[in-house]
A and B are shown apart, each in its own frame.
Chain A
Amino acid sequence: AQKITQTQPGMFVQEKEAVTLDCTYDTSDQSYGLFWYKQPSSGEMIFLIYQGSYDEQNATEGRYSLNFQKARKSANLVISASQLGDSAMYFCAMREWGGIGGATNKLIFGTGTLLAVQP
């Protein structure tokens, strides 16, 4: 069964520094998608970045980049130049393959990492 593991319950980072949030995954599927979401205290899940299992290059979205190491089954999120507004819970998730015609939007989430950006 698919599983996402986030081993860092909490992280601290100084403003303007870079931080890496760890994520490892387990799946026997060849085709899958990996996501990172940000959840502020308000509760809404905000999509940050996506990496497909067949994508050859690491995904980047502004200050966010995903360090995808397929052989190690890791998909770490790197946030560059941290800002105070980056303080939030961060979840790594994997899309399970299945459902209608093989497509599904069922996401399996990790337990999250609470990031605190210090001034």
Chain B
Amino acid sequence: DAGVTQSPTHLIKTRGQQVTLRCSPKSGHDTVSWYQQALGQGPQFIFQYYEEEERQRGNFPDRFSGHQFPNYSSELNVNALLLGDSALYLCASSLASLAGLTYEQYFGPGTRLTVT
């Protein structure tokens, strides 16, 4: 049973460029959340996708956008990269529950983005 996978593992970009990060959820999961973790900080929620729609968003600018595909995999896109976007980007998957009772949320290994 494959867990959450992310690609690429590492990425180096230049200021002003655009980047796309990818995430495949754990088998059976249908919800994907993205987090940004700056060095020495806890992860910050970017947004969550369910049924191919953005359902909730954290305090991130519109330069951060995403997409969820019919197979539940997801992409995170960041435009006009800034030095401050350098961070570990974590993807987490879970199974949606209308009752909100489930708490299982599994994280991938992350993509480390460096902006120079």
Q: A residues bordering B, Cβ < 8 Å?
A: 4, 31, 33, 35, 37, 42-47, 50, 52, 91, 93, 95, 97-112
Contact = CB atoms under 8 A, between A and B. Distances in A.
Contact of A106 (B33, B97, B106): B33
B70 interface: no
Contacts of A95: 103
Nearest to B104: A47
A103 B97 contact: yes
Given A105-B48, A106-B33, A43 B99 contact: no
B50 interface: yes
A41 B72 CA distance: 28
A4 to B, nearest CB: 8
A106 B55 CA distance: 10
Contact of A47 (B42, B97, B106): B106
A107 B45 contact: yes
Interface residues of B, number: 32
Query: Interface centre among B44, B55, B98, by most A CB within 10 Å?
Result: B55
Contacts, number: 79
Contacts of A47: 104-107
Given A50-B103, A98-B56, A100-B50, A105 B110 contact: no
A33 B56 contact: no
A58 B108 CA distance: 28
Nearest to B58: A106
B42 A111 contact: yes
Q: Lowest 7 A-B CB distances belong to which pairs?
A: A103-B100, A109-B42, A45-B107, A43-B110, A44-B109, A99-B56, A50-B103
B99 A111 contact: no
Contacts of B107: 37, 44-47
